[in-house]
Amino acid sequence: MRLKIIGTSHIAQQSVQEIKKAFNDFKPDIISVELDVDRAKSLFQPQTQKMSWSVIFKVGVKGFLFAKIAQYVQQKLGQSVGISPGSEMKTAMELAQKNKLQIAFIDQPISITLKKLSQRFSWKEKWHFFSDIMQSIFRPKKMMKQWQITQFDLHKVPEKEIILKLVSQLQERYPSVYLTLVEERNKYMSQQLIKLLRHHPEKRILAVVGAGHEKGMNEYLLKVDFLYP
Please tell me what DSSP assigns to residue 103: E
What is the spatial distance between Cα 84 and Cα 11, in angstroms, rounded to a whole number? 6
Kindly provide the residue ranges of all beta strands, DSSP E only, lying in 37-117, ordered along the sequence.
102-105
Q: Does the pLDDT at position 94 exceed 70?
A: yes
> How many other CB atoms are found less than 10 A from the CB of residue 98?
8
Report d(CA 177, CA 115) in Å as an integer: 12
Return the higher-pLDDT residue of 222 and 224.
222
Residue 98 has pLDDT above 80, yes or no: yes
- pLDDT in the model for residue 117: 84
| 51-65, 103-117, 122-136, 182-196: least confidently modelled range | 51-65
pLDDT for 137-162, tens place per residue?
A: 666 565 556 555 555 554 555 567 77
Nearest to residue 210, comparing CAs of 170, 175, 168, 182?
182
| pLDDT, position 59 | 55
- Looking at residue 77, its pLDDT comes to 47
Cβ neighbours for 21, distance < 8 A, ≥ 6 positions apart: none
DSSP symbols for 137-194: HH-HHHHHHHTT-S---TTSPPPHHHHHHHHHHHHHH-HHHIIIIIIHHHHHHHHHHH
pLDDT at position 216 over 50 = yes
The pTM (predicted TM-score) of the whole model is 0.79
